[in-house]
Every structure is written in structure tokens, then in C-alpha cells.
Homo-oligomer: A and B are copies of this chain.
Amino acid sequence: MPGSLFGHLFRISTFGESHGGAVGVVIDGCPPGITIDLAEIQAELDRRKPGQSKITTARAETDIAEIVSGVFDGKATGTPICILVRNKDARSTDYEPFKDIYRPSHADFTYDAKYGFRNWAGGGRASARETIGRVAAGAVAKRILREQCGVEVLAWVSRVQDIEANIDPADVTLAAVEANIVRCPDAAAAEKMIALISAVKADGDSIGGTVDVVARGVPAGLGEPVFDKLEADLAKAMLSLPASKSFEIGSGVAGTYLKGSEHNDEFVMKDGRVATTTNRSGGVQGGISNGEPITLRVGFKPVATILQKQMTVNNKGERVELMPRGRHDPCVLPRAVPMVEAMMALVLCDHLLRQRAIGG
């Protein structure tokens, strides 16, 4: 069963490879009448695109989106919205020398194992270019959440290697996130992060860390027992992003060191609604949103493409030396921020529609 579909009622399917004609997405299930603003979608793609700063890859893609269907007079008609982005700076010749070689910690070998052969010109479907469709669809999902229930989704870089930012999810703003090229709203930490990434880039190496995301204003009642718990769908969403290695909701790993008496969130009344004094639950209890901010952390490994010599094997089973050249992302985190936001928005939007279906 193919795996390029995400969501059930607000459903997206992405297509395209890093070095083919185009990448894109079909969004099916968009509530009719929602404004589809191409500029808004483009703005999100610009946050994701390569070459946007000195700490990202130099691949020069303009990533201009075209809306091919599903919109009339600027509004979603309720039918499938197809958004297309042509590949421009696809230097597949860069990849020709490596077409038989299994690059370490890439998907070359596993795609061969699965399909018998692969599109060796670039990363194929495993390329981060696939996330263009997600980010475009996420822009639509964010608009629905904002317009139809006042939800705001916001992500930021919370750690690069061991440099941690100090951020309060309750009041972080998009402006603060976008204030610097590493997308860390803690300015002091951001400065150190940029310096570290620059140094790593100079070495031809790469580096990992974490992205945090919050959704504020989520109504209570979203999420489904028992398999489609909100945190389960969010975990799947995040672990489907390239290079992700870990997922934590609310108190996360730190919470597993506490006792129940320390971890439980006390219920109180606040502004006439049931609220909690703390939010170790991360806004989700029993798989269902409780009205508090939904808070997650996603860990990303250092990207596998490094400009250093490595030993590996080729598809004939011979030991070979790999010396990559060209362009690479020393740290995926700043560009992962819009991806993480998109995935959060897609999950929430799907569950919003699911909850409406039962008459809630």
C-alpha cells in the first residue's frame, strides 16, 4: 500500500522527486469557501526553500507555486486543490558519479532493496524537496485553523547540538522566530547557533538538534481514542519528516523521571472553562485535546550528506570510497521549522473535521 497520502478528512497526497519535472501536492477535503491565498502559500514555501541564508544549502530553487485546480474566485471550491512547483536547479549530473554507490545513512540502499532500482538523480522521493507539498498544504491548513477556530501554530529551533534556547511557548511570536536566520526566538542562543552551524559547514560536516512547536487556541475534544490519539497522529506526522529521530509530547522524556504526584496537571476553572494549572500533558489527555496549548518537541539528526570522505559499498557489493561534492545543508533545523508547523496544522485540521463529523 502506497504511503504518499496523509490525513483522512483533510487529506493530502504529495508527488514528485528532487530531480524530476515537478513536485507538488493534491489537497482533498478542504472546506469550501476558505480563501486560498497564493501569496500566503508562497511565503511558507520561501521559509522552506534552499538557499535562503548562509547556513542552508546553496541549491538555488525559486520554488514558485502554481495552483492548478480546486480554487474559484480565490476560494476553495471543496474539490481537490493541486499545487505544483517545477524543479529548476536540478543538477542531476552531480549525482552521476554516485549512481551505483550507497551513500551512508541515505536511502539509496533501502530504495534499491524495496523497489529493485531507483531514481539516482538526487534523493528521489527521499529528498527534502518532497516536503514542498506538505508546506504548501500546511499553509492552507493553518488558514483553516485560524479562520474557523482561532488556532495558531508556531514552531522554532529550540536546540542546536547542545545550545539550548530558553523560550516560553505561551508567548513566543512568529516575529521573534523570523527575527534571525536560524529561527530561534532566543536571540542570544540564536547567535551561538549560527556561529556553530557556520563552523560545522566550514568543516563540510552537519549537525542536529530539536524543533519545538506549539498550537494555541485548540478547542477541547479533538483526537480519537484509541489508535488515532492526537499525540499518535502527531508522532507519525513528525517522524515522517526527513531526518527526524525523536518525538516528545508535553513533559516528554523529562516527564518520565517524575512521580505521578509531581506530574499530574491539576484542573481549575479559568475564564469559565476547565483548565489546568500546569501543562505536562502537553494539551492532550487520553489522546484528546483539553484546550491547553499543544506542545511538542521533535529531534533531528545531523543530515547524512557531508562533504567528507567516507567508506561504503556500491550496488555490486564492492567497498568504495565516497567523496561527495557540491551543496549540502549543514543543519536541517531552520528549514524544518515550517515543515513541523505544516505537519502540526495538517493533523489538527484533519481532527477538527473529524470532530465535526460526529456532530460535536
- Contacts known (A23-B69, A259-B206); A239 close to B232, Cβ less than 8 A: yes
A188 contacts chain B at the CB level, 8 A cutoff:
no
Q: Please name all residues of chain B whose beta carbon is closer than 8 Å to the beta carbon of A21 when the two chains form the complex.
A: 66-69
A: number of interface residues (CB 8 Å): 152
- Contacts known (A1-B357, A119-B72, A302-B259); A231 close to B239, Cβ less than 8 A: yes
B104 lies within 8 A of A303 (CB): no
8 Å CB contact of A80 from B15, B29, B31: B15
B229 lies within 8 A of A105 (CB): no
Mask, A77-97, CB within 8 Å of B = 1, is 111111010000000000000
Instruction: Give CA–CA (A159, B42) in the complex, Å.
Output: 46
Q: How far is the CB of A17 from chain B (nearest CB, A)?
A: 6
Residues 126-180 (chain A) with a chain B CB within 8 angstroms: 126, 130, 148, 159, 161-162
- Contacts known (A253-B253, A286-B110); A205 close to B260, Cβ less than 8 A: yes
- Contacts known (A313-B274, A358-B31); A16 close to B82, Cβ less than 8 A: yes
A53 contacts chain B at the CB level, 8 A cutoff:
no
Q: Please name all residues of chain B whose beta carbon is closer than 8 Å to the beta carbon of A232 when the two chains form the complex.
A: 235-237, 239-240
B78 lies within 8 A of A114 (CB): yes
8 Å CB contact of A235 from B222, B239, B255, B288: B239
Instruction: Give CA–CA (A105, B276) in the complex, Å.
Output: 9
Instruction: Give CA–CA (A175, B105) in the complex, Å.
Output: 33
- Contacts known (A107-B285, A109-B267, A239-B229); A2 close to B29, Cβ less than 8 A: yes
When C-beta atoms are compared, the residue in chain B nearest to A70 turns out to be B15
Q: How far is the CB of A174 from chain B (nearest CB, A)?
A: 24
When C-beta atoms are compared, the residue in chain B nearest to A79 turns out to be B125
Q: How far is the CB of A322 from chain B (nearest CB, A)?
A: 9
Q: How far is the CB of A89 from chain B (nearest CB, A)?
A: 17
- Contacts known (A226-B240, A229-B3); A301 close to B15, Cβ less than 8 A: no
Instruction: Give CA–CA (A222, B115) in the complex, Å.
Output: 10
Mask, A235-261, CB within 8 Å of B = 1, is 111111000111111111101111111
When C-beta atoms are compared, the residue in chain B nearest to A219 turns out to be B113
Q: Please name all residues of chain B whose beta carbon is closer than 8 Å to the beta carbon of A82 when the two chains form the complex.
A: 15-16, 22, 24
Q: How far is the CB of A37 from chain B (nearest CB, A)?
A: 17
A226 lies within 8 A of B258 (CB): no
A187 contacts chain B at the CB level, 8 A cutoff:
no
In order of increasing CB-CB distance, the 4 nearest A-B pairs are: A107-B286, A3-B224, A3-B228, A206-B260
Known: A161-B256, A246-B246, A263-B301. 14 other contacts (CB 8 A): A4-B28, A15-B82, A16-B69, A23-B69, A32-B116, A72-B118, A105-B281, A107-B225, A110-B220, A110-B223, A207-B259, A226-B240, A245-B249, A260-B305
A-B contact pairs, 18 of them (CB 8 A): A9-B354, A13-B13, A15-B28, A16-B80, A20-B69, A22-B69, A32-B115, A68-B84, A102-B267, A105-B285, A111-B286, A114-B288, A207-B259, A208-B255, A245-B250, A262-B302, A269-B319, A353-B358
